[in-house]
Chains A and B, each alone.
Chain A
Amino acid sequence: MIGSFENRLRARRDSGRKLLVPYITGGLGDDWADCIRAAADAGADAIEIGVPFSDPVMDGPVIQEASVKALEAGATPQSILDEVANLDAGVPLAVMTYYNLAFRAGHARFAASLARAGVAGCILPDLPFVESGPWREAAHEAGVEAILLAAPTTPDHRLSDLCDASEGFVYAVGLLGVTGQRASLSSAATVIAGRCKEVTDKPVLIGVGVSNPEQAHEACQAADGVVVGTAIVRRMLEGAGAEGIGELVGQFRSAIDAG
C-alpha cells in the first residue's frame, strides 16, 4: 500500500527513535539475503538493496567493486527481486539502482516488479527531481514510493518542491561527492539536513559519507537518521558474513541510540 514505507519510518521517528537504513548490494556473495535479515535483526529500520548497474556514477570504488562482483556472478534485477520476494525481513525494503534499468524495462513494468517483490521504496540517484515526474507517477501507481535525493547544491527554490514530491523519506546527500568513507562527517551534511527539515516534516535521512558509528551519531543530531552504505559493503567484501554485518549494524544502532 502506498505510504507504508513513509508511515513506518514516521511512526518510529515520532516515537523518538533515530532511523538507521543500511545498504546491502544485492547479489554480492551467496549470503547477501542473510546479511539483510541480520541487519534487520540488529536494529535497522529499513534496508536499501542495491541492484547493481554497469555504470554507477554516484558510487565510489567500494560499491563499484561490489557491483562488478555481483554482476560477474550473474546478478540481474529479476534474480535479486526473486530472492527479495522470499526474504520476510520484517522491515520496509527499498531498492537503490540507476535509472536506465527502469527506463529499459519501462516505468510501469519496473515499478510493478518491485511491488511484486515486496519492495516499498526506490531510489534512482541519477534521476534528479527535474526529470523524475514520469517515473514518480508510475511508481506511485504501482504502490512504490519514489525516494528523492536532495543535494547540498539544490537551490532553495527547488528544495521545497523536491521534498514535497519525495515519498518514503528525503535522502539528504551528505557531501559533494560519491559514496565512500571519509575521515569526518562533512559540515555540508548537517546543513542540507537542516535545510530539508525546514521545508518538510517527512523523515530526513543523511546518506553518502556517513562512514562510521560516530559519524552516524553526529549526523543524527541534525537529521532523523542515516543511510549507511560503503562501511557495510566493505565488510561484505571482506567476507564478514551475516554475523559480521549484524554486528556492525548493531554498532551503528547503539551509536545513534546514545542520545
Chain B
Amino acid sequence: MSMTEPTPDGRFGEFGGRYVPESLVAACEELEAAFREAWADPEFLEEFHHTLKHYAGRPSPVTECKQLSKEIGVTVLLKREDLNHTGSHKINNVIGQALLAKRMGKTRLVAETGAGQHGVATATAAALLGMDCIVYMGAVDVGRQELNVFRMKLLGSEVISVESGSKTLKDAVNDAMRHWVATVEDTHYCLGSVMGPHPYPWMVREFHRVIGNEAYQQCMELFGDVPDVIAACVGGGSNAAGIFSGFADTRSELVGIEPAGGAAVARGIPGVVHGMASYLMQDEVGQVMEAESISAGLDYPGIGPEHAYLHSTGRATYENVTDDEVVAAFQLLSKTEGIIPALESAHAIAWIAREERLRGKTVLVNLSGRGDKDVAQMMDILR
C-alpha cells in the first residue's frame, strides 16, 4: 500500500478532513491549491531541494550502530536527522512551508511548538527568508526547554508562553489556531506535524518524504536490501510519516512508537480536534485528555490522521514505551555509539532494545533529533 494523496476532501480512509472554524476554510483551500501548484513546479522543487542541500545539510547519512547492535542483538541503522541544521528533521517541513508561504505572498509565520524543535526550525526559516515569526509554546514546555526558547528569540522570533489547559503542545496548537483565525489574511500557519486540517497532514508528509527517499536509496547502496523494520517515534507523527513514505511499498514492517502517557492509537478512540478526525485521547463524553510524557515533543493526545489510517489497515503498527525505558535508551545510545539522541527519538531506541522478537533482524530507526536540548532535563533526572 502506497502513501499517496488523500481523497479530494482530505481523507485517509475515515480519518483527516478539515474541521476548522469557517473563518479558516478558505485559507486551507488556498493553501492546498498553492501547494499542489508548487509541488508540480520544477522551479519550486529545485529551490526546495537546493535549500535542503546547501542550507540544511541534506542528505543526512545512515549510520550502522556496531556496538549497540552487538549489545542488543539487533542490527541497528540510524537515519541521522539529528545532523540536520537546527538539530532535527523539522527543518525539512519548515523550509517547504516557508518557501510556499513566501510564494503565496504571506509575510508572517505563526507556529506551535512542543519541545521547541519545530519552533526553532520555524524561527530559522523565518530569519532566512526575512519573515516575521511568532511561536506559541506551552508554559510547561517553556520551563523544560529553556535553551530552545532562547534560540528562537535569538533568531528574531517572538515566543508566547501559553498558560491555558495543560500548558503543553495541545494548548499551543489551540492558541496558534486562534492567532491564525485573527491574522489569516497575511499570516501562514506553519504547522509542525502531519496533523491539522487538510492539506497539512499530506503536505507535511510530502515535505518529509525526502527522509524516506534518501533512506531507501542509502539502504540499497549499503546493503542491497531494505531493512526488516522501520521504527520511528510518533507524537503527531511527522518524522515517522517521512521515513515510512520511502518504504510503504516495500516488505519493511513499519512501526511507530508513542509515549505510554500519550498513546492515542493504543486507546483507539476516534475523535475530532485541531482540524482533523483521528485517534484521540479523550474521556467518555469527548473532552480531550492531557498527554503525559517525559518528552515535550511527544506530549500530544492525538496522532496524525494518516497514521490512524495506516493503523486501521494494518500497514503500520503502533507501540508504546514508558518514560523509564526512554531514559535508559537515552543513555544506552549515548554510551554505545557516542550519539546523544533527542528524548523523542530515544522512544524508538527504547522499543528496539525491549523487543525480543527483533533479535537477528535489521531495524532502521529514524533518529529524528539530537539530544542537546534535553541535556539539562536529563541532568536533573539522572542526578
List the interface of chain A (C-beta within 8 A of B). 53-58, 60, 64, 68, 71, 76-78, 99-105, 125-131, 148-155, 158, 162, 173, 175-178
Contacts and interface: CB of A to CB of B under 8 A. Distances in A.
Given A128-B19, A178-B181, A153 B26 contact: yes
Taking chain B's interface residues, is the majority helix, strand, or loop, or is none over half, making it mixed?
Answer: mixed
Interface residues of B, number: 38
Given A64-B164, A100-B271, A176 B184 contact: yes
A58 B181 contact: yes
A130 B174 contact: no
B25 interface: yes
Interface string B134-145: 000000000000
A105 B283 CA distance: 11
A149 B181 CA distance: 14
18 contacts: A53-B286, A55-B165, A57-B174, A57-B177, A68-B164, A71-B287, A100-B272, A100-B288, A101-B287, A127-B19, A128-B25, A148-B22, A149-B22, A153-B184, A154-B22, A173-B21, A173-B23, A176-B23
B108 interface: no
Given A54-B287, A128-B22, A151-B22, A103 B164 contact: no
Given A99-B19, A131-B18, A176 B185 contact: yes
Contact of B25 (A64, A102, A103, A154): A154
B20 interface: yes
B174 A55 contact: yes
A111 to B, nearest CB: 14
A154 to B, nearest CB: 6
B21 A128 contact: yes
Contacts of B280: 100
B243 to A, nearest CB: 29
Interface string B16-44: 01111111111100000000000000000
B165 A128 contact: no
Nearest to A78: B285
Contacts of A128: 18-22, 24-25
B282 interface: yes
B137 to A, nearest CB: 17
Contacts of A129: 22, 25
A57 B175 CA distance: 7
Given A57-B174, A153-B27, A177-B182, A104 B286 contact: yes
B185 A55 contact: no
B183 interface: yes
Closest 3 CB pairs of A and B: A104-B286, A177-B182, A151-B23
Interface in B119-152: none
A173 B22 contact: yes
Contacts of B288: 54-55, 100
Nearest to A59: B178
Contacts of A150: 22
Nearest to A125: B21
B274 to A, nearest CB: 8
A71 B20 CA distance: 23
A71 B184 CA distance: 30
Nearest to A152: B23
Nearest to B288: A54
Interface string B308-323: 0000000000000000
B94 interface: no
A123 B19 CA distance: 14
Interface string B164-181: 110000110010011001
Given A126-B20, A128-B22, A60 B174 contact: no
Interface in B167-209: 170-171, 174, 177-178, 181-185
